[in-house]
Amino acid sequence: MENVKVFSIIIAVFSVLSVESVGLKDLKTCNFGAVYNFGDSNSDTGGGSAAFWPAGKPCGETFFGRPVGRGCDGRLIIDFIAEHLGLPHLSPYLDSIGTSFRYGANFAIGGSTIRPQNESMSLNGVSPFSLDIQIVQFDQFKDRTGHFYNRSYPRHRRNLPRPEDFSKALYIFDIGQNDIAAGLRKKNDSAFRASVPDIVDQLAKAVQNLYEHGARTFWVHNAGPIGCLPVSLHYHDIKPEELDEQGCLKAQNAYSMEFNRQLKARVIKLREELPHAALTYVDIYAAKYELIGNAKKQGFVEAANICCGFHEDEIQVYCGHKQNINGTEIYAGSCENPSDFISWDGVHYTEAANRWVAHRIINGSFSDPPLPIKHACHIP
């Protein structure tokens, strides 16, 4: 308990320093009545399970005690953000059972991309719910919930968003990793670099669409270090010169860095185009890379180790799956202590790692401008 108190004090100090660093110490806390999230599996709280097939055991075991549609042993970064803002975890837009949208909705779907891909979920895990579709879903959501809210009895409104909250909501984008993965699959560096301007422009168009419908506060995550994902390190015959000082694939991380460079430039341009918008660019790449580089100092095992799955002697069985190997059935279960690991299943982070990253981005330490998330509605 003492460690929790000390950590809370550290976070509070960082928050004050972040605000002071931009000369806005006396800013009022933003009153975010709702959060709307657009993304992929890094922030999917059950949309993919509702649309395709449910995430099975052992996902969810650490916090929820059962699978709840997250590709993780517990909570995601978006869950910690909601908790920090005093809001419940976001309900997936596609989930029809026990759903409340009073405090926002989550349109993220695992496998989603910014730019529609000529691929499929069955072929290589690419979702048909690209960002443009998620925005269409939001537009319909806003229109239909407003219609029913204004025509319902008060007791029927409790699960619907209040129309006045849309303009005061926080809009989060956590998407792009699968666009980078698609570029890596095609193994054409020049083609990927040529595609990035269009990818970031499509994200910008999504922001502009929301802005035109009254949204004002945007929190945009860049892409994490894809070359540090253990799944990449376990599935390739890697030469030492291909790795950086943290043991990550340099060529793959170069894709992420190029995407992030252009994304940041586009966010800066959006500030000029949308004068009444508060746009925060969040350097998820730097936060995750710092964690990976200091894994043992932060109490984790080696960053390349995978908690859930079977990865030995060139045999790869994904988390929660079974496979018959030489007459023996192998179940790819989870490790004994997921909180010791950064990677849950080789692609997604554990709850412990998500908490570590979330607590460092919500205070503004990795943001441009360097404002805590509770002050993100202000335009410096």
Residue carrying the six token digits 């029927």: 156
| Beta bridge mates, 219 | 172, 280
Q: Catalytic pick from 91, 345, 365, 367? A: 345
Residue 248 φ/ψ, nearest 5 degrees = -100, 155
Is 189 one of the annotated active-site residues of the chain?
A: no
Q: Which residues contact 331 (CB under 8 A, 6 or more apart)?
A: 310, 321, 322
8 Å CB contact between 70 and 57: no
Is 345 one of the annotated active-site residues of the chain?
A: yes
From CA 324, how far away is CA 307, in angstroms rounded?
20
From CA 113, how far away is CA 124, in angstroms rounded?
13
Q: Catalytic pick from 15, 18, 40, 41? A: 41
Residue carrying the six token digits 């931009």: 22
Q: What 3-state class would DSSP assign to 218?
A: strand
Q: What 3-state class would DSSP assign to 360?
A: helix
Q: How far is CA 50 from CA 34, 45, 95, in A?
A: 22, 10, 6
E-strand ranges in the chain read 35-39, 104-106, 170-174, 217-221, 278-282, 309-312, 315-318, 322-325, 328-331, 367-368
Q: Catalytic pick from 221, 348, 359, 375? A: 348
Using DSSP bridges, classify how beta strands 217-221 and 278-282 pair: parallel, antiparallel or unpaired. parallel
Is 147 one of the annotated active-site residues of the chain?
A: no
Q: What 3-state class would DSSP assign to 222?
A: coil
Q: Which residues contact 68 (CB under 8 A, 6 or more apart)?
A: 45, 46, 55, 59, 60
8 Å CB contact between 20 and 281: no
Q: Which residues contact 367 (CB under 8 A, 6 or more apart)?
A: 18, 280, 281, 282, 283, 361
Active site residues: 41, 345, 348
